[in-house]
Amino acid sequence: MDDHHTRPATSSTVTLHVNGTPHTQTTDHRTTVLDLLREHLGLTGTKKGCDHGQCGACTVLVEGRRANSCLLFAVAHDGAHVTTVEGLGEGERRHPLQDAFVERDAFQCGYCTPGQLCSAVGVLAEAAAGHPSHVTPPPGAGEPRPEGAPVPLTRAEIRERMSGNICRCGAYPHIVEAIEEMGDVAGGMDGGARNTDGARGVPGNPSGVPEEATR
């Protein structure tokens, strides 16, 4: 066994690829990905709400899949590719979902918004990959959609899939509209999005995350 891992050290050198840029840091094992992003890398777009997995404010994409960064120890994600709200767009160009949020007025104080955006990008990818939700009718139950085919993002689907993101301002109706608009586009074309091939991403589907950000 690699002796680096068995040394009784309580900190480790960890590399995270954040929005396409590798960052190598020596961090205490207790450091979460959220704290690493905010306190060590100065990427304060990702917010801390509850710090216990209950509010979704800290949602980022890890290998293209949404996750609560407050519950991830950075040391357990050495080498991972993380996309934060800062990396959703391309350079100065916003991600189409960000435009939809602005156009639909999908926030008030904006504190939950980075988490809502990352979560919604994950939702679009999961639905395009055919991942079911609690409200998705099973195939066969009067439902022509074959197993694994993209799931249409109805309002009920969006509300269910976004339930891990709490908004204290109650901006939900506009958040749902903004995502619905993106889902419509995604259903027609490819969502104006590019395929990702993150190691553990949602296989073969558009997530709208720039390729270099998730690799």
Ligand X SMILES: Cc1cc2nc3c(=O)[nH]c(=O)nc-3n(C[C@H](O)[C@H](O)[C@H](O)COP(=O)(O)OP(=O)(O)OC[C@H]3O[C@@H](n4cnc5c(N)ncnc54)[C@H](O)[C@@H]3O)c2cc1C
Number of residues that bind ligand FES (CB under 6 A): 23
Which residue's CB is nearer to other proteins, number 52 or number 92?
52
Q: Please give the helix or strand (H or E) that residue 101 lies within, else none.
A: helix 96-104
Q: What does 30-90 look like in DSSP terms, one character per residue?
A: T-BHHHIIIIIS--TTS--SSSSSSS-TTEEEETTEEEEGGG-BGGGGTT-EEE-GGGSSB
183 binds, options other proteins, ligand X, ligand FES, none, Cβ within 5 to 8 A by partner type: none
Q: Which residue has the tokens 């979704």?
A: 56
**Nearest approach, Cβ of 175 to ligand FES (angstroms)?**
8
Residue 187 binding other proteins, by CB under 8 A: no
Select the span of 41-49, 87-95, 134-142, 177-185 touching other proteins (CB under 8 A).
134-142
Residue 163 binding ligand X, by CB under 6 A: no
Residue 36 binding other proteins, by CB under 8 A: no
* Contacts to other proteins from residues 53-92, by CB under 8 A: 53, 56, 59, 65-68, 71-73, 75-76
Q: Give the CA dihedral 189, 193, 197, 201, nearest 10 degrees.
A: -90
Select the span of 3-11, 93-101, 174-182, 184-192 touching other proteins (CB under 8 A).
3-11
**Nearest approach, Cβ of 118 to other proteins (angstroms)?**
9
- The count of C-alpha atoms lying within 13 angstroms of the C-alpha of 191, restricted to the half-sphere facing its C-beta, is 30
Number of residues that bind ligand X (CB under 6 A): 2
The length of the chain, given as a count of residues? 215
93 binds, options ligand X, other proteins, ligand FES, none, Cβ within 5 to 8 A by partner type: none
Query: Binder to ligand X among 11, 26, 30, 53 (CB under 6 A)?
Result: 53
- The span from the CA of 174 to the CA of 170, in Å, is 9
- The span from the CA of 105 to the CA of 163, in Å, is 19
DSSP state of 102: H
- The span from the CA of 128 to the CA of 9, in Å, is 43
Residue 62 binding ligand FES, by CB under 6 A: no
Which residue's CB is nearer to other proteins, number 10 or number 91?
10
Residue 163 binding ligand FES, by CB under 6 A: no
